[in-house]
A and B are shown apart, each in its own frame.
Chain A
């Protein structure tokens, strides 16, 4: 089967080259048959890459340890579902996964794009095929061939890294990859529009759902990554500003900026150049992220094995950046804005400031991530910045951005009148002030937390007001009951109200971020029967009494589990269990170093997070690190809201449903959503 796999890679390589060359040379222009062939080539790529993927999965499922990749990432006793995810556990497989998914997206975009944009599609096929060619070339020519065989067959494999044996890891990488990969489609449309000189808003209509799709995948991928880090890395938090984490945040930030600024282009014909820049930038940052992850140029705990592959990505990044920005430059005059900014207090300008902040945050994250390299190049000494830097810079910027999240939807397009501002701001402002007072009264004295939470309340006030007005207007006009009106309102204006729901999700994340400032940590050593009291930031007291350590054996591991009985303020809460595990292969030989499973007992308010650090010299005296992490649950809850909001904005149909706002640009009265 690996023969089939290799053959498929070569086929993909050649088909991809043909497609890209034919598409960019423009030789399809007067030849409809060639144009059709170019547009269908992504389907051929999908088929051959599926063949390659099936070949790899077949190797994984049949335990063909003669294949190096299968040997390196699985073992005979690995649970079946991890055989599926082992596909992307290593560098070589993840490259194939990337190419496979991109080919499917490439084929889907050809099938799903309206015929109105037909002229762009051969170029789009050219871009997606070109990127696929790059990934296949990395596999074939940089020693990253997943089908490479060993000179003999080991009896069992090395097994999957214990940290990857977690449901979060089954879904986190593919979802994040889906986010990264789908950024190629907006980029392909941008390049196509520039090449075809079709710079009116058509290309934006054709790609905007892809940008939303990519945004949703990235959001979910990043959030699942936090979940995984929280449960598997055992340091008590979910975000460490590690280069690899930052690499996933960068395209998300730029894509978020685009999703806002594109509305200005659609409504006012402004920011055409900026939007092109953002689309290109988001895609380049996804490639940059891959470079950071794979090359090891920046020290990261998460890095894949360091290898020369990174430099392929660096080269690709430079070539793409030069080509796409040169192309943008040659079309510069054709991207004149149709309108100018009319007033500082307007929706446009709120979006512009939002964009500046998002890009500013992205820049600071990029700068901080690259600083070791930059400082070494400029001053000859490596200087690194860590979480204190990122928090210092991004906490104020983040709060400002949160404020704009609330302000933006309240201000009218073009020019907001004083009456408009007064009418719109009263309810949200009161909500914010009441929240501020309540929190202060409750004893919260941390400045940033007070501001952030009041701003969060302000945004919620905005969203509630928007929903309430829409529902009330529908009720008056059509006599609908509240639930019906709500359903109609959201269903008929999916993008707008889906967007508001996303804002609520973001607010919920901010609540969690505030909680992170109040984490507590303590280290304890206990004998069985002994107990320790742990104070929570919310004022309650946990009592943990150590029950003892028990040993047990499971399919592919032996574990020592330390159990503690937990009470909160005297009330029984349950038993918390943290384990040390040693994974083994099917011959009982240990694979990997021992790993730790954290014990977690938590809820809406806070998590009690216990890490079993080991026992003292064979006795049962054991030491633990106990964290109390306030409000972490809100991250997962916020993620859920984001997904719901994202899905609503993307839901098929309902896309032309914004004419009312267009007709009433300087809306003073309640706009009646159709």
Chain B
């Protein structure tokens, strides 16, 4: 066998290996990324969806955050404009997580049968607050 052919075989093994790792990786670790509306629709249709760990992208309802420092628990509500549900989380929330307007969060966890989303992770990002403020300045002037 020529060296080139042998190499091609080795390369095929590597390529197939990478493809296999990616495919099984996606299958075993991939999680849904839904909006609150999509999530509620799915759990309505199929109650077993309450058991599925997934991610939700939504905005924090202003003024809904309740913090309990002694247990490091945070309760709040999230919404996408049309649907909303309460969330509970134990752990540290990032500094960007506040009651201010338009704070976008990415939650990871399960929407329990009690209607509360039990988050195992909360990521927050400050939305376009500063842009919005600047737009306001421009308009008022």
Chain A positions within 8 Å of B, measured between CB atoms, are 68, 71-72, 150-152, 154, 158, 162-163, 233-235, 299-303, 305-306, 340-344, 346, 349, 352-353, 356-357, 360, 363-364, 367-368, 371-372, 375, 381-386, 388-389, 392-393, 396-397, 523, 525, 593-596, 611, 613-617, 621-623, 625
CB distance from B56 to the nearest CB of A (A): 11
Residues of B within 8 A of A616 (CB): 68-70
Contact A623 B18, beta carbon cutoff 8 Å = no
The answer to whether B69 and A623 touch across the interface, beta carbons within 8 angstroms, is yes
Binds A, one of B25-33, B43-51, B75-83, B109-117: B25-33
> Are the CB atoms of B3 and A352 closer together than 8 Å?
no
Contacts of A397 in B (CB 8 A): 18, 21
Once A and B bind, how many residue pairs between them come within 8 Å at the CB atom? 159
* A341, B141: Cβ atoms closer than 8 Å: no
**Chain A interface mostly:** mixed
User: Are the CB atoms of B3 and A342 closer together than 8 Å?
Assistant: yes
Question: What are 11 A-B interface contacts by the 8 Å CB criterion?
Answer: A68-B134, A150-B141, A152-B137, A301-B125, A360-B15, A368-B25, A392-B21, A525-B69, A593-B126, A613-B69, A623-B70
B63 at interface (Cβ–Cβ under 8 A)? Answer: no
Min distance, Cβ B54 to any Cβ of chain A, angstroms: 9
In whole Å, how far is B135's beta carbon from the nearest beta carbon of chain A?
Answer: 11
Cβ of B6 and Cβ of A344 under 8 Å apart?
yes
Report the minimum CB–CB distance from B40 to chain A (whole Å): 15
Task: Flag if A234 contacts B137 (CB, 8 Å).
Answer: no
The answer to whether A371 touches B26 (Cβ under 8 A) is yes
Q: Are B123 and A301 in contact (CB under 8 A)?
A: yes
Are A389 and B25 interface neighbours, CB within 8 A?
Answer: yes
Binding site for A on B (CB under 8 A): 3-4, 6-7, 10-11, 14-15, 18, 21-22, 24-26, 28-34, 55, 57, 67-72, 90-92, 94-96, 98, 100, 106, 108, 123-126, 128, 130-131, 133-134, 137-138, 141
A525 and B70 contacting across the interface, CB-CB below 8 Å? yes
In the complex, what distance in Å separates the CA atom of A302 from the CA atom of B18?
28
State the Cβ distance, B20 to closest chain A Cβ, in Å: 10
Which A residues touch B4, using CB under 8 A? Answer: 340-341
- Tell me which residues across on chain A come within 8 A of B33, comparing CB atoms: 299, 372, 382-384
Contacts of A622 in B (CB 8 A): 69
Chain B residue numbers with a CB within 8 Å of A385 are 25-26, 29-31
Per the bound structure, the CA–CA distance linking A397 and B21 in Å amounts to: 9
Q: A383 to B30, Cβ gap below 8 A?
A: yes
Candidate in B11, B55, B92 with the most chain A CB atoms within 10 angstroms: B92
A617 with B30, Cβ < 8 A, contacts A150-B138, A344-B3 known? no
Query: Which residue in chain B gives the minimum CB-CB distance to A302?
Result: B125
Nearest residue (CB) in B for A615 is B69
* Measured CA separation A617–B106 after assembly (Å): 27
Q: How far is the CA of A388 from the CA of B21 in the complex (A)?
A: 12
Once the chains are docked, how many angstroms separate the CA of A360 from the CA of B108? 28
Q: Please report the C-alpha to C-alpha distance between residue A264 and residue B124 in the assembled complex, in whole angstroms.
A: 47
Is there contact, CB below 8 Å, between A306 and B128?
yes
Across-interface contacts of B15 in A (CB, < 8 A): 356, 360
Interchain CA distance A405-B77 in the complex, whole Å: 50
Residues in B whose Cβ lies below 8 Å from that of A162: 95
- A382 and B57 CA atoms in complex are apart in Å by 11
Q: Looking across the interface, which residue of chain A has its beta carbon closest to that of B8?
A: A341
Bound Cα distance from A254 to B122, whole angstroms: 32
Extra contacts, 12 of them, besides A301-B123, A341-B3, A393-B18 (Cβ < 8 A), are A150-B134, A234-B95, A299-B125, A364-B18, A368-B26, A371-B26, A384-B31, A386-B29, A389-B29, A396-B21, A593-B96, A625-B91
> B102 CB to closest chain A CB, in angstroms?
11
Say how far B124's CB is from chain A's closest CB, in angstroms.
8
From residue A95, how far is it (CB to closest CB) to chain B in Å?
A: 16
Decide: A364 and B22 in contact? CB cutoff 8 A.
Answer: yes
Q: For the complex, give the distance between the alpha carbons of A623 and B68 in Å.
A: 10
Q: Are A360 and B14 in contact (CB under 8 A)?
A: yes
Q: Which residue of B lies closest to A240 (CB)?
A: B123
Residues in B whose Cβ lies below 8 Å from that of A393: 18, 21-22, 25
A300 CB to nearest chain B CB (Å): 8
- Decide: B138 and A151 in contact? CB cutoff 8 A: yes
| Docked pose: A163 CA to B125 CA in angstroms | 12
A233 touches B137 (CB 8 A): no
* Residues of the A chain whose Cβ atoms lie less than 8 Å from the Cβ of B141: 150-152
Q: Please, which residues of chain A bring their CB within 8 A of the CB of B108?
A: 386
B18 contacts across to A, CB distance below 8 A: 360, 363-364, 393, 397
Nearest residue, chain B, Cβ from A581 = B95
Return chain A residues, CB-CB under 8 Å to B70.
Answer: 525, 616, 621, 623
In the assembled complex, the CB of A252 is this many whole angstroms from the nearest CB of chain B, namely 18
Q: Which residues of A contact B21 (CB under 8 A)?
A: 364, 392-393, 396-397
A68-B134, A303-B125, A344-B6 as given contacts; A382 in contact with B30, CB under 8 Å: no
Picked from B3, B57, B124, B126, the residue with its CB within 8 Å of the CB of A343 is: B3
Shortest distance from the beta carbon of A74 to any chain B beta carbon, whole Å: 12
Compute how far the CA of A152 lies from the CA of B140 in the bound complex, rounded to whole angstroms: 10
Question: With contacts A372-B33, A623-B72 known, is A611 near B92, CB below 8 A?
Answer: yes
Chain B residues with CB below 8 A from A303, complex form:
125
Question: A235 touching B29 by the CB < 8 A rule?
Answer: no
